[in-house]
Structure 1
Amino acid sequence: MPDYRRYRVPGGTYFFTVNLLERKKDLLVRHIDDLREAVRMTKRERPFHIDAWVVLPDHMHTVWTLPPGDDDFSNRWKSIKIRFVQKLPRTERRSKVRIAKGERGIWQRRFWEHVIRDENDYMRHVDYVHWNPMKHGLVQKVADWPYSSFHRYVRDGIYPEDWAGGLESQLDVIERE
């Protein structure tokens, strides 16, 4: 197995995709308040800025900026994941390996990250985060998805309420990264 190393930039801005182990579940939106509390508690202990975030039924995308000199996003994700599953009943299927390691069967072990390189890269990824519920056919308009920082962007005058047209070709690049 190759020795995988994450690329880290202290104080950097990152795009993440985090998935449930069983991709057809809806735990993230069904237990959205538990997820929000897990994020709040983690941010209190290990601060970071949430630039953009969308929670879908079985995965989420987010853009974070870490404090200057800090590159430890892995332990932040670990904390969020642990806090979230501690609130859930133990009803999921678990493999023999997960049972032996004392792991729950909720999250995929790894997550995908991308270091944001410049302003254009930043905006492409923030747009991708907000457009994702439409991509998955969950809504007809981005504004209709409740679990998204899109609504903050509208309040702050960054996006119009009816934003999201014509992004498919631009955002395909992110999918191929």
Structure 2
Amino acid sequence: MTRYTRLHIPGGTYFFTVRLQDRGSSLLLDKLDLLRSSVRSCMAHRPFEIDTAVILPDHLHMIWRLPPGDTDYSARWRQIKSTFSRHVDRPDYVSPGQLARGEKGIWQRRFWEHCIQDDADLALHRAYALMAPVRAGLVTDPRHWPASSIHRDGDACLSRSSEPMALS
């Protein structure tokens, strides 16, 4: 069994990439309100702040700040994924391994995380997240992507230091 080593810094700030199992799916945009509701539900039970969020058709990027003394981002993602998955139909194909584990086959099992080290690292990861729709060829300007936290602070999102944002 593979062992994943994750860095757990109490009250840390983390960048995440979370993907759907079907890389050609548009489920996250099709069910954007459900995703937002799933995140809000998690935040009500396990508080955290969302600094940056960009939702693409088949994956998302978020930067979270956890409360002081808290390191459990994995439980939060588990809750978000589970809540979302309970309210969508099972895909046409689910691997036998996923079925054996009782998974619905919506999400990739893992997620990618990076612990933000300093303001420069935060600015780099904010810009990476906010520019994702441009890199994916979905828009030519990140301000044109509707499922992005860039709309909260406009261009300031690309350059500001560590001011947290709430999910809108």
TM-score by length of 2: 0.90
Tell me the CA shift for residue 2 of structure 1. 4.6
Distance in 2, Cα, partners of 1:115 & 1:65: 10
Distance in 2, Cα, partners of 1:52 & 1:72: 19
Question: Which residue matches 1:48?
Answer: 48
SS class of match (1:158): helix
Whether the 8 Å contact between 1:11 and 1:66 is mirrored in structure 2 is yes
Distance in 1, Cα, partners of 2:78 & 2:92: 19
Distance in 1, Cα, partners of 2:140 & 2:131: 10
TM superposition outliers: structure 1 runs of 4+ over 4 Å? none
Count of paired positions: 159
Distance in 2, Cα, partners of 1:2 & 1:30: 33
Tell me the CA shift for residue 120 of structure 1. 0.2
Q: Please, which runs of 5 or more residues in structure 2 have no aligned partner?
A: 160-168
Whether the 8 Å contact between 1:92 and 1:105 is mirrored in structure 2 is no
Question: Which residue matches 2:66?
Answer: 66
Distance in 1, Cα, partners of 2:145 & 2:85: 24
Q: Could you list the per-position Cα deviations for residues 41-80 of structure 1 after superposition, in whole angstroms to 9, with x for gaps in the alignment?
A: 0001000000000000000001000000000000000000
Alignment of 1:36-115 (within 5 A): 36-115=36-115
Amino acid at match of 2:49: H
CA separation of 1:105/1:47 partners in 2, compared to 1, >3 Å: closer, same or farther?
same
TM-score by length of 1: 0.86
Cα root mean square deviation, aligned? 1.5
Identity of aligned residues (%): 47
Q: Which has the higher contact order (CA 8 A, sep 6+)?
A: 2
Whether the 8 Å contact between 2:22 and 2:58 is mirrored in structure 1 is yes
Tell me the CA shift for residue 115 of structure 1. 0.3
Whether the 8 Å contact between 1:11 and 1:71 is mirrored in structure 2 is yes
